[in-house]
Structure 1
Amino acid sequence: MDLRGARILVPGATGEIGSALAARLHALGARTALAGRDREALTRVSTACEHAPARTFDAWDADSCAKTVDWAAAELGGLDGVVVCVGVAAFGPAGEVEDAVSEHLMAVNALAPMAFLRAAGDRLPEGGVLAAVTGIVAEAAPARMADYAAAKAALATWLTSVRRERRRQGVTVLEINLPHMDTGFAGRAVVGQAPPLPRGLPVSEAVDVIVRALREGARRVCPGSGAALEVVR
């Protein structure tokens, strides 16, 4: 994808990764539409992106996600890509995680991203990109993270299937499988306390690789053999 002039919706633009990515895309000449939960933070990110169009949405409401896609397409005159950066963590033994918390994790980490990308799929031209952040927990399935890992794994599986469906349309489906990041994300868990974690990857490094993956039409960003992220085409 040529990012200059590309029309890209970034749900989750108020988070550490989403806001940094939105700013980088804007700096590279993309036309961004921003979506997030926190209206005040969304205004700050929009201002930093020269008043890019911005809208709040409710991850609990799949219809709200779909309508945000409609809004972004109207604001930008179409869409070339959607990069979903929403997510929330929880920690604790599976037997102690309440059903309401499990439902919340599935809604935010899986169902909301699916709703965004499903609504955008038929709007994208050849060369367009559907992308979402999953996480290494989807593969590692650590103890005391069962519901969080299951939600991320559900999204990863969905992206794999959709990638096969969209291949003939020339639309790239990118899974952004990130390791622990230096964002304070684990400290904002809806329940529980994170276990001791290694030093997180800097957000700027992740954004560098995500931008490269978007440009190259890659199918995955994932941890490589060393500390660096790798782009898989």
Structure 2
Amino acid sequence: MPQRDLTDQRVAVVGATGALGSRVARGLAAGGARLLLVGRDEQRLQQVAQDLGAGATVVGDLGDATTGDRVAETAREQLGGLDGLVNAAGIAAFGPLVDTPDAVVEEVFTTNVVGPAFLLRRLLPLLQETEGFVVNLSAILAERPMAGMGAYSASKAALTALDRSLAGELRRAKVRVLDVRPPHTETGLVDRAIHGEAPRLPDGLSPDDVADRVVRAITEDASDLGSDDFLEG
């Protein structure tokens, strides 16, 4: 029995133009949520917003701390507040750490860890007002780091650690923190890595199936969605 009714829930989806972010946004919209979509590509963002009937958008990069300020301002001005945040943004890099340039390591951590922390610092006051929820899309790598994915694995493990710390910090405020760690999913991220080539990977899950499972976990007010949860359906 769902514990969270999505009807009129005001939810910011970051990475809304990506394979998972766009599908999660679609699932939330189907449940009646009012969306604030955030992404780096303005043209693609406007197309997703048009497809979903979402009127609120913010163009920005997670690595820019002011993006969070603009998301918070837009949420207040156009939605009257915020009930949820879904962060589906992320980048990948591959190869042995010794062969990974400093700038690549820095960019991976900026997008996958530092940026989400910047964003959360600015949006948590809004979510505390509404006893809302936070969803961060980490990865199976947080549970099972892989050779040839050192920086990427470490960034996802750091994001999961941040989520677990936040869950304790926000318990009294009744803000639910959901850490999502799906197995390899066919999002195309492997082909868009900023460095190196991915090691041999098994066939990935369907982005539609993963997004549906994430939306269901939100409605169930879940606090953890590990890799095994996706295999169980």
The TM-score, its normalising length taken from structure 1, stands at: 0.94
Aligned-residue offset at 1:178: 1.2
**Structure 2: any 5+ residue segments left out of the alignment?**
none
- Which residue does the alignment assign to 1:113? 116
From 68, 71, 75, the counterpart of 1:72: 75
1:15 aligned to 2:42? Answer: no
Identify if the C-alpha distance between structure 1 residues 227 and 119 changes in structure 2 by more than 3 Å, giving closer, same or farther. same
- In the aligned structure 2, how far is the partner of 1:210 from the partner of 1:134? 12
Map residues 27-42 of structure 1 onto 2, 5 A cutoff.
Answer: 27-42=30-45
Q: Which amino acid aligns with 2:200?
A: P
- Secondary structure in structure 1 of the residue aligned to 2:222: coil
- Which residue does the alignment assign to 1:194? 198
Deviations, residues 197-224 of structure 1 (Å, cap 9, x unaligned): 1111111111121111111111111122
Aligned-residue offset at 1:134: 0.5
The TM-score, its normalising length taken from structure 2, stands at: 0.94
Aligned-residue offset at 1:227: 2.8
1:26 aligned to 2:11? Answer: no
- Asked whether the equivalents of residues 62 and 111 of structure 1 are also in contact (C-alpha less than 8 Å), the reply is no
**Structure 1: any 5+ residue segments left out of the alignment?**
none
- Which residue does the alignment assign to 2:156? 152
1:43 aligned to 2:46? Answer: yes
1:173 aligned to 2:177? Answer: yes
Q: Which amino acid aligns with 2:205?
A: L
Q: Runs ≥4 in structure 1, deviation > 4 angstroms?
A: none
Identity %: 38
Q: What number of residue pairs does the alignment pair up?
A: 229
- Asked whether the equivalents of residues 68 and 123 of structure 2 are also in contact (C-alpha less than 8 Å), the reply is no
User: Which stretch of structure 1 is more off in the superposition, 63-72 or 215-224?
Assistant: 63-72
Aligned-residue offset at 1:173: 0.5
From 99, 102, 112, the counterpart of 1:99: 102
- Secondary structure in structure 2 of the residue aligned to 1:113: helix
Q: Aligned-residue CA RMSD in angstroms?
A: 1.5
From 2, 5, 14, the counterpart of 2:5: 2
Q: Which amino acid aligns with 1:7?
A: R
Identify if the C-alpha distance between structure 1 residues 226 and 62 changes in structure 2 by more than 3 Å, giving closer, same or farther. closer
- Secondary structure in structure 1 of the residue aligned to 2:126: coil
Identify if the C-alpha distance between structure 1 residues 226 and 108 changes in structure 2 by more than 3 Å, giving closer, same or farther. closer
Q: Which amino acid aligns with 2:172?
A: R
Deviations, residues 142-193 of structure 1 (Å, cap 9, x unaligned): 0011111111111110110110011011110010111100111111100011
- In the aligned structure 2, how far is the partner of 1:203 from the partner of 1:211? 12
